[in-house]
Structure 1
Amino acid sequence: MTAAGTGTGFGTTTWWGFSPALDLQKECLEASLDHVCQSEEGLSELNILLVGSVDGRHVLKTMCQAHRWPQRKINFYIVENNPEVLARQLLFLSLALEPQEKMGLQEKSETFLELLGNSLMRSPTATYLQEKSDIFIRLATDPDFQQCYLPVLDMAGLKFKERDQLEGIFRFWLHPDPQAFPIVRLWDLRVRQYLGTRYDTRNGVSDWDLNMKLHEQGASVINIREYTRWRDTGVAFELREGIYDTPNKTLASGRLLRLNGDRVPARGYWGDIATGPYILFGIETEEQSLLKTINGVPSKSAQEISLHNVTAMFHELAARARYIPPGPDPKGDSVATPVPGDASQPQEQSQLVHAPPSCTARTSTSGSSTSSISPAASCPTSIRTRPTPSPPGPQPWLQGLASSPMVCQVGSIQRGCASSCRKGPEGRATPWRPASWGYRVGRETPPRIVNLLGS
């Protein structure tokens, strides 16, 4: 367990765990081999009970790395005491199973991290959450639709009261008004309540908690900049240069408060404000190059490691193969590994491969209820693989420069052509040839080049 702060800082609702995500087949299989039995399909069957796992990180990582182990049927029994936590796990599971044709690997990873640990998110992520909320309402109230839309999930163990609670949560997510959950004000109130008289020195308190608690317990890759940013605003992952201004309503929960002697239900943020979501995917990785240090300081941040781990996890789920991170080619350019079905990759010469999934999940929100699930092996998943695209040939603007009166094929040249062209004979603009790729567009053209091209 890696945590900082006190009980007040943890809050009454836990949104993320305090340990890294585990592949349960790797960690627990040796002790559970005696309990593996044969399923009706003839495969070995493994039943796993998770009580209070909160965010479903162990389920996702075990599912994504199932291809590394002998094929077996895995049943996850999930027990939570909070319906909001179960709703978030349902959202993460649905996001992980999105087809690559609909959502690319990078977009899926960034959306997952925003929903997981950010108090504020971008408008595209909020739009995706509203679309899923509309579907989840039917999923929680219509068992037939649930078996058609998400057959790997069985919610038969839920009581009708718990289904009504889930429906209310999804309707709250669907509500477009950002003032329904003013997370900026609620986060500041939680921080003020937690720090008390130390609020004016909150940056020093964050520095102390990071260095004397998190770093001492093995989370040394978390740097002070990203940790202080999360402690102040609740935004843990700023993966794009976008505007994070939409409240993340998945972090809203309800509790009963006393007002004038009466117990009044209230909705707000009652989660962690001391440790942060970096522990889940940001402090351990199989790619050892991300853990290198320079003069004793980690070269990569917990945000970068989290993005790599989540990307690798979703890649393994789709491709059934280990993720190879992109690296620079001999020319110094970045070479990306093609992802099956990724919308950002070219579509030529695709080959269709069928690979049945081997993991299932079961859910429950109370210790007294259990549930069952249908096998996922009956629903094969189509995976598209593509070869690495060939490098581009010579630039067309260089080939046609001599014959074309105005050539602006490259973006940087196009932006600077207005200030880089000279007037030739009869007042016609004549392009000039930059001395090299490093020549700055818009710079005063040398007279020698003007004389060669102008007259």
Structure 2
Amino acid sequence: MGARDARHIIKTIAHLGRHTSFTGNVNFYVYEEQAPILARTMLLLSIFLDQDHEASDSEQAQLFLEIYGNVFLREKSSEIMKELSTKLLRLLCDSTGSLVSLLNFSALRFRDRDDLEVVFKFWRDDIRKTFDIGKLWEMRLRRLHGTRYDVRENMCDWDYHMKLLKQEVTIIHKTEYLRWREHGLAFEVRDSTYDKPNRSMATIDLMKQDGISVPKWGFFNDVITGPFVPFGVESENEDLVKQVNDQHKHTSGDVAEFNILAYLGEYKRNFHSVNSLASRVKVHILPPVSEPFLALKKLQKSSFKFAGIFVSNSCAQHIPKIPPRFVSETTILIVEMARYMLDLKAEQVAAFKEKVLEISKGAGYHFIENGITSTGPGKVKNDDFAIFASDGLDSSFYSAF
């Protein structure tokens, strides 16, 4: 719920081969609040799972990170995105393409399909439908910094040292972070020109026009934290995140590219084609409606139970609405905390966690522990996630899991 990209699906697919004792099928049910965000998840899955066989793994990883994290693209990447938009449009409308056996659209209404079709056509039509992301980025920065816009570099430097580094993510270099804050570029290929708008970052919001609120394409995403955390701050290759004389030898971009390459390698070793993956994995696309579990109405007679539920911090208010019929005593609930929301004060981050604990308990879940992630050698507990179990499940089950 509300992950806004495909990172959890991709990592789970990549690591599926590690769980040799598990031979069953995996079903993902994906909910997002807007059609453009849902379409972007499909695009990132398409890049990861179904790239041109002529492209090397390195090129594929770079393309993925570029579309995932940059507001501007290389011309080549922009053209590839247009091609993928056409493929996704045909997949949605004509049920053709290599992902047809993997993605399930049966829960979508005609209106939802129409909305996704509008998004895919917007992505590929850069002549009639302009999208000046450079201007939109500047507008967001001016609104963020206000009267201090002219000294924004100092403001970014403060955010980096006094907020981001306090979250123990020193692998994100200052130059990377400042480049993102100023230009919206997080992952770059050497000696490349980035001048094409990344239209997959466009979302729709109500804006005033002649005194009336009308839906318009715009850029309403993060301009503070950056896209480094999901792929670029930890790795199974501990040499990448080690420090020498209190300095990192590698950047967050290096870590992110290594991780995507590692995921690609595992995926291709375990599943030699999308069809072989689809024999075990299905991704169900749910309607982007205001009440997420209304999207499961067609499944109300089904007897399945969710093994795990991931809820982003933007969707935490929906936890009490999870239908009990989809929850068993072995269901794990993972809720994203507000650790990396740098615009919040420390007391606000703590208050958010307390609120999540309160509503989860009220919904019949009990807290197990904070999420555990690696920070170089060894592991530490932090507040990336809070993990809950449904009543009847104790922490010993989770430990074994």
Normalising by structure 1, what TM-score?
A: 0.61
In the alignment, is the contact (CA less than 8 A) between 1:66 and 1:359 conserved in 2? no
Moved more, 205-214 or 178-187: 178-187
Secondary structure of the 2:265 match is helix
- 271-280 or 96-105, larger mean C-alpha shift: 96-105
Partner of 1:130: 82
1:274 is paired with a residue whose SS is coil
How many pairs align? 291
Q: Give the Cα–Cα distance (whole angstroms) in 2 for the partners of residues 298 and 63 of structure 1.
A: 30
The alpha carbon displacement at 1:179 in A equals: 7.3
Distance in 2, matches of 1:136 and 1:186, equals 26
After superposing the two structures, state which structure 1 stretch, 174-183 or 153-162, moved more: 174-183
Aligned-partner residue type, residue 74 of structure 2? R
- Give the 5 Å matches for 1:117-266: 117-142=69-94, 144-145=95-96, 149-177=99-127, 180-266=130-216
Residue aligning to 1:110: 62
Shift of 1:315: 1.0
Runs (5+) with no aligned partner, structure 1: 1-50, 322-339, 342-353, 374-455
CA distance in 2, matches of 1:355, 1:249: 29
The CA RMSD measured in Å over matched residues stands at: 2.2
Of the three residues 60, 75, 98, the one matched with 2:50 is: 98
Please state how far the C-alpha of 1:259 moved relative to its aligned partner.
Answer: 3.0
Change in 2 beyond 3 A, CA 1:178/1:281: farther
Contact (CA 8 Å) 1:126, 1:248: kept in 2 or not? yes
Q: How far apart, in 2, do the equivalents of 1:301 and 1:137 lie?
A: 36
Aligned to 1:306: 256
Q: SS of the counterpart of 1:255? A: strand
- Write the deviation string for residues 166-207 of structure 1: whole angstroms up to 9, x where unpaired: 100111111133971111111011100111011111111111
Letter in 1 for 2:153: N
Any runs of at least 4 consecutive aligned residues in structure 1 with deviations exceeding 4 A, and if so which? 354-357
Query: Following the alignment from structure 1 to structure 2, what is the Cα–Cα distance between the partners of residues 57 and 208?
Result: 29
| 2:285 corresponding residue in structure 1 | 363
8 Å CA contact 1:178, 1:247 repeated in 2: no
Residue 76 of structure 2 aligns to which amino acid in structure 1?
P
Following superposition, the deviation at residue 211 of structure 1 comes to: 1.6
The superposition leaves residues 243-263 of structure 1 with CA deviations (integer Å, 9 ceiling, x where unpaired) of 111110001111111234211
| Alpha-carbon spacing, 1:234–1:99, altered in 2? closer, same or farther (3 Å) | closer
Residues 85, 120 of structure 2: 8 Å contact kept: yes
Shift of 1:100: 6.5
In 2, Cα distance between equivalents of 1:298 and 1:227: 15
Separation in 2, partners of 1:100, 1:127: 13
CA separation of 1:134 and 1:63: change in aligned 2, threshold 3 A = same
Percent identical residues: 32
Q: Distance in 2 between matches of 1:99 and 1:197?
A: 45
Q: Over residues 400-426 of structure 1, what are the superposed CA-to-partner deviations in whole Å (9 max), with x where a residue is unaligned?
A: xxxxxxxxxxxxxxxxxxxxxxxxxxx
Q: Check 1:178–1:288 CA distance in 2 against 1; reply closer, same or farther (3 A cut).
A: farther
> Structure 2: which 5+ residue stretches go unaligned?
303-401
8 Å Cα contact 2:102/2:278 also seen in 1: no
Report if aligned partners of 2:86, 2:124 keep a CA contact under 8 Å in 1. Answer: yes
Secondary structure in structure 2 of the residue aligned to 1:300: coil
Read off the aligned partner of 1:362 and give its amino acid letter.
Answer: H
TM-superposed CA distance for 1:226, in Å, is 0.7
TM-score by length of 2: 0.69
State the Cα deviation string for residues 352-402 of structure 1 (Å, max 9, x = none).
xx88863221111231113789xxxxxxxxxxxxxxxxxxxxxxxxxxxxx
Structure 2 counterpart SS, 1:272:
coil
Contact (CA 8 Å) 2:206, 2:216: kept in 1 or not? yes
